[in-house]
Amino acid sequence: MTKRRCTKCGSVYEGDARFCPKDGNPLVDVAVAGASGTTIRKVYKPPAPDRFTLSSQRIDNRYEVVRRLGEGGMSYVYEAKDLTRGETVAIKILSPKLSADKSSVQRLRREAGLAMRLEHPHVCKIMRLGETEDGLIYLVMPYLKGELLSDREGKAGQLSVEQGVEWLVQICSGLHHAHLMNIVHRDLKPENVMIVPDDGGRDKAVVMDFGLAKEKRADPAIQKLTATGIILGTPEFMSPEQIRGKTLDPRSDIYALGIVAFEMFTGKLPFQGRTAQEMMIARLRGKPSTARQFRPAFPESLEAVLNKSLAAEPEDRYPNALEFGKALLDAAGSEDLRARVGHLLK
């Protein structure tokens, strides 16, 4: 029987529960050995970063690691086979050099606790949160076979209006689902969106990595956690209020998505600067470029929608992601497009 331990109070439970009934915190799987059910705990000593690899290894005797897919500032991502279910999955593992950092571990657990609540066709869900007997904390996600939006942009240069709006509406729908559950992404960018084939043979957009997600009304412990020196968000896509360190709401994600949309259609960013810091300052002091400066034939109606999403003050933007999606769809003016994705905005 699977045993799970509360990440806060340490209580251990059997069964399929994912959250602690005492305090609501996420439960992590613990490795169990022997008939007595004694939990094995070891002090994890991370290897040198350049030698760290899990390729061809098994995690908790269930996941057979196939290859490393990539790495970020806090984690490594592997393709693996779930030997229990016979499925290919992606496993995100906290970087060994940060495994001893309690705040990093807490953030990763927090990520899972939030993302496990998301169920939407355009959001990548977290299927499982586990901890190996060696102390590695990991997240199991569906393996999405596709490419990053940033890579697709690199190939296409400027996306067509119809294709771009289709994916943006899908992203808006996924974000709105998260926002209704009091979750703000905080790090929306082309590298956090996957373009994958859907069942009908078309490509669809899926929002990835809620690693910087936080509830709109964060408790003091979480507010303290986000001020530990870890950069929350990507400078080129941060909203003015995020740069200033103010409380964020869904309109901050709308701003970031506006920058993503601008880049999709023009191949450029709306704020220019030689460094990320200069671009951040430009967002606080200047006005964004317009899409037609880089793409003269771009529809004026769609440019107006992007301009509103990039308003410096949150109250001047769209009130929610659903309204942003509706405005994008209306400006595109395609009945075929409305027939394909209009249902996502209801």
Euclidean distance between the first and final Cα of the chain, in Å?
A: 42
> Tokens representing 234?
């990507």
Helices of type H across the chain: 102-115, 149-156, 161-180, 220-225, 240-243, 250-266, 276-285, 291-294, 300-309, 321-332, 335-341
Please name which of 196, 205, 209, 78 lies closest in space to residue 146, comparing C-alpha atoms.
196
> Tokens representing 284?
């606080």
Please name which of 180, 177, 153, 175 lies closest in space to residue 164, comparing C-alpha atoms.
153
Please name which of 118, 122, 120 lies closest in space to residue 170, comparing C-alpha atoms.
122
Query: Of the listed 23, 50, 82, 187, which one is catalytic?
Result: 187
Q: Phi first, then psi: what are they for 113, rounded to 5°?
A: -60, -35
Please identify which residue in the block is written with the tokens 């331990």. Answer: 5
Please name which of 112, 142, 124, 130 lies closest in space to residue 59, comparing C-alpha atoms.
130
User: What residues are paired with 68 via a beta bridge?
Assistant: 78
DSSP per-residue codes, 288-328: PPPHHHH-TTS-HHHHHHHHHHT-SSGGGS-SSHHHHHHHH
In the residue annotation, 187 being an active-site residue is answered as: yes
Residues constituting the chain: 346
Residue 19: DSSP 8-state: B
**Burial (0-12, 13-18, 19+ Cβ within 10 Å), 328:** buried
* Residues designated as active site: 187
